[in-house]
């Protein structure tokens, strides 16, 4: 009997243990605040970022090799005169650098000497040609007289043959003088070309600024040896600047060449500038799939500096009704895009669940943001504790 009671007790304990295993406690719902996605009448706008770039950028290099003899000198902030450096404003035509010119002056003097020698030789040949022409003219007259006398049998054959030979020699001498003149003129032309080249090379020892601008790069110092083609300076014309930014194809309908465009600079305490659209690319970038837009801005006071970040705001002409949600409802954005996520509320079997949904945002209004894609007015979304939720989390609405 005692054995039977023990067996029954063990069986009862086994049943109780099995019941304990089957009665699992489910996760507690997360208490959250929710809101209905509202509709609001807004004038859509889009903001893009761009970088201030110069209107014209020129890289100045030496055409000829040589040693740097001197650089352009400016007055520094301390009042002392110093060599030009990065950041200095340069007037048009300023000689930024000069090579040692003695070698090029010697080449020019040699070329000029050869030119003068060739000119002297040509002058002498022209004098010889004049004498040869005079001799030929006299030989022509003598030959005509000899022909007449020989025809009248008043001149012997040997005298006539001598007159013919003299006429032939005078003609050959004149022709030779003409050929010599042509050769001398060729030599003079070559000497003139050498002198012109030497004069150009001498002029190229001075590197001049083709426009007013700002020095943004400098790679030479006095005394350094440079080769032909060595880049010495980069000069930017900042009287007018440009802002380049990319837009998707859906934005092209809002942009036209010549239209005014407002540009804001945070670095200048939000100061705004009015520019003009001067370029719209004909095709999208193959990698980013955006179209490049160029806005040109006047920079009379030189307040716009190279590399500043500009914000461009594009507004749609007509207002429209759009869904708006609190900023607290947004999850972290994906890198490099406007794609965010929100949690919408779904119900199953009398329970509420958080459902993750991707959205694309638009403009921000205070503590709210426009939803361009992904939500419609009337949907219910979670606006707090989003960092404690995951897709499918059980929730409990407390509002």
User: What are the pLDDT digits (tens) for 42-65?
Assistant: 776 788 999 999 999 999 999 989
Q: Tell me, yes or no, whether 155 and 281 share the same domain.
A: no
Is residue 252 included in any domain, yes or no? yes
CATH code, 86: 2.40.50
Report pLDDT for 19. 47
- Residue 292 pLDDT > 90, yes or no? yes
Which residue, chain included where needed, has tokens 């009337």? 378
Taking the alpha carbons at both ends of the chain, their separation in whole angstroms is 63
In a shared domain, residues 226 and 356: no
**What is the extent of the structural domain holding 129?**
103-203
Task: State whether 90 and 209 are in the same domain.
Answer: yes
Percent of the chain with pLDDT over 70: 91
Q: Let me know whether 157 and 219 are in one domain.
A: no
Do 153 and 181 lie in one domain? The reply is yes
pLDDT confidence of residue 170: 83
pLDDT at 9 over 70: no
Task: Report how many domains make up the chain.
Answer: 4
Q: What is the rounded CA–CA span in Å between residue 199 and residue 178?
A: 31
pLDDT tens across 141-189, in order?
888 888 888 788 888 888 888 888 888 888 888 888 888 888 888 888 8
Q: Are residues 194 and 324 in the same domain?
A: no
Residue partners of 119: CB distance under 8 A and separation at least 6: 188, 191
In a domain, 179, yes or no: yes
Report pLDDT digits (tens) over 81-102.
999 999 899 999 999 999 998 8
SS (H, E, C) the chain: CHHHHHHHHHHHHHHHHHHHHHCCCCCCCEEECEEECEEEEECCEEEEEEEEEEEEEEEEECCCCEEEEEECEEECCCCCEEECCCCCEECCCCEEEEECCHHHHHHHHHHHHHHHHHHHHHHHHHHHHHHHHHHHHHHHHHHHHHHHHHHCCCCCHHHHHHHHHHHHHHHHHHHHHHHHHHHHHHHHHHHHHHHHHHHHHHHCCEEECCCCEEEEEECCCCCCEECCCCEEEEEEEEEEEEEEEEECHHHHHHCCCCCEEEEEEHHHCCEEEEEEEEEECCCCCCCCCCEEEEEEEECCCCCCCCCCEEEEEEECCCCEEEEEEEHHHCCCCCCCCCEEEEEEEEEECCEEEEEEEEEEEEEEECCEEEEEECCCCCCEEECCCHHHCCCCCEEEECC
**Per-residue pLDDT for 377 more than 50?**
yes
Q: Does residue 157 sit in the same domain as residue 76? A: no
111 within 8 A of 194, measured Cβ to Cβ: yes
Among 306, 251, 308, 241, which Cα is nearest to 276's?
241
331-350 pLDDT tens trace: 876 555 557 899 999 999 88
Model pLDDT, residue 25: 57
Q: How confident is the model at residue 394 (pLDDT cuts 50, 70, 90)?
A: very high
């Amino acid at each position: 009997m005692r054995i039977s009671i023990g067996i029954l007790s063990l069986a009862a304990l086994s049943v109780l243990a099995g019941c304990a295993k089957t009665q699992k406690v489910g996760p507690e719902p997360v208490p959250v605040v929710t809101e209905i996605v509202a509709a609001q009448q807004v004038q859509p706008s889009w903001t893009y970022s761009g970088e201030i770039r110069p209107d014209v950028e020129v890289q100045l290099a030496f055409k000829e090799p040589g040693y740097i003899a001197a650089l352009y000198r400016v007055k520094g902030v301390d009042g002392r005169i110093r060599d030009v450096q990065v950041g200095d404003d340069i007037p048009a035509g300023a000689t930024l650098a000069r090579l040692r010119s003695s070698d090029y002056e010697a080449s020019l003097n040699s070329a000029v000497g050869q030119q003068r020698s060739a000119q002297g030789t040509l002058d002498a040949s022209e004098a010889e040609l004049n004498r040869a022409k005079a001799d030929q003219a006299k030989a022509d007259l003598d030959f005509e007289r000899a022909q007449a006398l020989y025809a009248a049998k008043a001149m012997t054959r040997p005298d006539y043959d001598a007159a013919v030979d003299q006429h032939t020699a005078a003609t050959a001498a004149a022709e030779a003088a003409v050929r010599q003149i042509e050769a001398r003129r060729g030599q003079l032309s070559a000497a003139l070309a050498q002198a012109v080249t030497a004069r150009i090379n001498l002029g190229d020892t001075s590197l001049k600024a083709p426009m007013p601008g700002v020095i943004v790069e400098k790679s030479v110092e006095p005394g350094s040896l440079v080769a032909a083609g060595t880049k010495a300076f980069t000069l930017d014309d900042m009287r007018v600047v440009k802002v380049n930014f990319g837009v998707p194809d859906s934005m092209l309908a809002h942009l036209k060449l010549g239209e005014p465009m407002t540009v804001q600079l945070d670095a200048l305490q939000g100061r705004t500038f009015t520019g003009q659209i001067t370029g719209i690319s004909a095709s999208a970038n193959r990698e980013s799939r955006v179209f490049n837009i160029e806005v040109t801005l006047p920079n009379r006071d030189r307040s716009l500096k190279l590399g500043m970040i500009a914000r461009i705001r594009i507004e749609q002409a007509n207002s429209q009704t759009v869904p708006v949600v609190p900023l607290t409802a947004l999850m972290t954005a994906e890198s490099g895009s406007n794609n965010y996520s929100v949690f919408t509320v779904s119900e199953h079997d009398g329970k509420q669940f958080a459902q993750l949904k991707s959205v694309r945002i638009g403009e921000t209004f205070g503590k709210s943001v426009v939803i361009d894609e992904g939500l419609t007015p009337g949907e219910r979304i979670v606006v707090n504790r989003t960092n404690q939720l995951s897709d499918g989390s059980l929730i409990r609405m407390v509002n």
